[in-house]
């Protein structure tokens, strides 16, 4: 009997273990840390053996195949030991796709915008009455959905870490939002390694599949030019014009975009959308092309795009107090995300940034910071780099080491007509559990203390 070992007991791991159990495999789940009670109860309900607080290497190295959760780096000792034994290591996505039957997938990746785009695509599909599940980085575990339900479509947000463990998987519709430096600590600080990882979204696609991508992104465009696949290309753009035989989407100077796939098309007035800014125009264009390719009616797509509200922790308005608007953009964990956030600001900005720096180059932000930011509040245990890079750019730079200290400094700096923007450009792990925890605490502070 095939022995499946699942590394990691989070949402990806518990779903993979349950799917392996349903398929009749000898399965064992192991986690170096603590497994959440809700996942343990599911594992016990399905009779899946598991351990937490460390790995029993005898059992791990007895695996026929290992399903690794995306948060576990390749440098982890348990992964290195498996590599030495040449035991195959795959991701939840690769494992689950083997058992999804005739279902189809829309897969979304990118350094920025993928959560909003994935959520919008899922809403469009649901509103159109399609039998669809949401998974990957958001929603339910893809593997758990495959194990417990029967869906016609899966909408999956994929990180580079998930793509790294995918080999035979093929997306029916792939969406690549952009590629900017991120997570370079996981890619030997080599940007091309990260680029190659993102481009795996197109692997195995053929002439029956669609590839939606941003033609304004120079890195993406360079990679597309080198592609040999005959996948149907669906570019979207605002700054350039790149017509494709399969279709495209283009944003004109008046804020109107047209999306076309084959002989079907739609038109969106971005001023009427609830999600604002150039980055959200890109997100909507990508969603429109992907869902047109999936066969959704154009009028239904238009209706859903106009109804769609901002995603939590991504340019999320929290509250306006005495003329000062507080915005939670905690999901902006890299420089490119903050670029789009600052680009969309129309009021003087008190900018809260900082956290665990992932090798950031802040130079792309300096022009917007000079024009739009009146005060930078650095929030982290090590603010030296932020302070150094913006001291001569922003009139006021304040270093703080806690959320409370940062918020009090932001409130003191803000005046009527300003916006206080939490857009960190960094990971959250120095002071918070994750970006969601950071954003939630920001919102709670605003609602309780102002």
Residue showing tokens 């270093």 = 399
183 catalytic residue (yes or no): yes
Average pLDDT (302-315) is 90
pLDDT in tens, 259-282: 999 999 999 999 999 988 888 999
Give the pLDDT of residue 183: 63
Catalytic residue among 40, 183, 198, 279: 183
Taking only the tens place, the pLDDT of each residue in 381-421 is 999 999 999 999 999 999 999 999 999 999 999 999 999 99
The pTM (predicted TM-score) of the whole model is 0.76
**Annotated catalytic residue 239:** no
Pairing status of strand 373-379 against strand 316-321: unpaired
Domain 3-90, CATH number (from 3.30.300.30, 3.40.50.2300, 3.40.50.720, 3.50.50.60) = 3.40.50.720
**Is it the case that residue 436 has pLDDT exceeding 90?**
yes
Residue 87 and residue 68: Cα distance in Å, rounded?
Answer: 12
CATH code 3.40.50.720 region(s) in the chain: 3-90
Report pLDDT for 119: 93
Q: For the chain, what is the mean pLDDT?
A: 93
Give the confidence band of 429 by pLDDT, cuts at 50, 70, 90: confident
- How do residues 309-356 score in pLDDT, each as one tens digit? 877 888 888 999 999 999 999 999 888 789 878 877 889 999 999 998
- What does the pLDDT look like over 175-221, one tens digit per residue? 999 988 766 677 777 888 889 889 999 999 999 999 999 999 999 99
- Rounded to the nearest angstrom, the gap between the alpha carbon of residue 277 and the centroid of all alpha carbons in its chain is 18
Q: CB-based contacts of 293: which residues, under 8 Å, 6+ apart?
A: 173, 210, 212, 232, 234, 247, 261
CATH 3.90.190.20 domain span(s) along the chain: 316-449
Tell me how far apart the alpha carbons of residues 329 and 311 are, in angstroms, rounded to a whole number. Answer: 10
Structure-token pair, residue 368: 């917007």
Selected catalytic residue, list 21, 114, 313, 372? 114
What's 97-307's CATH class? alpha beta
Query: Partners of 221 in the beta sheet?
Result: none
Strand order through the sheet with 104-109: 132-136, 153-157, 104-109, 173-176, 210-214, 232-237, 247-251, 256-261, 264-269
Instruction: Give the pLDDT mean for 301-309.
Output: 96
Please give the Cα distance from 371 to 365 (Å, whole number): 10
Q: Taking residues 35-57, report their average pLDDT.
A: 94
Question: Which distant-in-sequence residues (6+ apart) come within 8 Å of 383 by Cβ?
Answer: 354, 399, 400, 401
Q: What is the pLDDT of residue 182?
A: 65
Please tell me the predicted confidence (pLDDT) of residue 203: 95
Residue tagged active-site, from 112, 137, 283, 328: 137
114 is annotated as an active-site residue:
yes
pLDDT at 68: 95
Superfamily, domain 316-449: Mur ligase, C-terminal domain (3.90.190.20)
- How many other CB atoms are there within 10 angstroms of residue 269's CB atom? 13
Query: Start-end ranges of CATH 3.40.1190.10 in the chain?
Result: 97-307
Least confident of 78-87, 110-119, 209-218: 110-119
């Amino acid at each position: 009997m095939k022995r499946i070992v699942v590394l990691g007991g989070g949402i990806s791991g518990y779903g993979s273990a349950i799917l392996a159990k349903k398929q009749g495999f000898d399965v064992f789940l192991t986690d170096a840390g603590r497994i959440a009670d809700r996942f343990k109860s599911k594992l016990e309900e399905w009779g899946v053996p598991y351990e937490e607080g460390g790995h029993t290497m005898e059992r791990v190295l007895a695996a026929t195949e290992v399903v690794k959760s995306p948060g576990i780096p390749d440098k982890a000792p348990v992964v290195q030991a498996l590599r030495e034994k040449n035991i195959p290591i795959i991701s939840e996505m690769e494992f689950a796709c083997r058992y999804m039957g005739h279902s189809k997938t829309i897969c979304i990746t990118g350094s920025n915008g993928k959560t909003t785009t994935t959520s919008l695509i899922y809403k469009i599909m649901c509103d159109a009455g399609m039998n669809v599940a949401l998974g990957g980085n958001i929603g339910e575990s893809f593997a758990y959905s495959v194990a417990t339900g029967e869906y016609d479509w899966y909408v999956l947000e994929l990180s580079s870490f998930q793509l790294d463990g995918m080999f035979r998987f093929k997306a029916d519709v792939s969406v690549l939002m952009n590629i900017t430096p991120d997570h370079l600590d996981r890619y030997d600080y080599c940007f091309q390694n990260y680029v190659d990882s993102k481009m795996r979204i197109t692997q195995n696609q053929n002439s029956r599949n669609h590839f939606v991508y941003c033609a304004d992104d120079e890195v993406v465009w360079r990679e597309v030019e080198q592609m040999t696949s005959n996948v149907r290309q669906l570019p979207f753009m605002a700054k350039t014009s790149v017509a494709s035989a399969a279709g495209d989407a283009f944003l004109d100077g008046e804020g109107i975009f047209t999306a076309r796939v084959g002989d079907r098309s739609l038109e969106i007035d971005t001023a009427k959308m609830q999600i604002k800014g150039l980055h959200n125009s890109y997100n909507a264009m990508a969603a429109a092309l992907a869902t047109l390719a999936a066969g959704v009616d154009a009028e239904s797509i238009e209706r859903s795009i106009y109804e769609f509200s901002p995603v939590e922790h991504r340019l999320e308005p929290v509250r306006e107090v005495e003329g000062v608007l507080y915005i939670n953009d905690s999901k902006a964990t890299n420089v490119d995300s903050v670029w789009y956030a600052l680009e969309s600001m129309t009021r003087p900005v008190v900018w809260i940034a900082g956290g665990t720096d992932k090798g950031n180059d802040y130079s792309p932000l300096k022009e917007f910071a000079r024009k739009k930011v009146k005060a930078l509040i650095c929030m982290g245990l090590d603010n030296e780099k932020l302070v150094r890079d913006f001291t001569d750019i922003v009139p006021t730079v304040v270093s703080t080491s806690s959320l409370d200290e940062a918020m009090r400094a932001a409130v003191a700096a803000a005046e009527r007509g300003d916006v206080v923007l939490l857009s960190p450009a960094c990971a959250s792990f120095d002071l918070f559990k994750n970006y969601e925890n950071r954003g939630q605490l920001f919102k709670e502070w605003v609602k309780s203390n102002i």
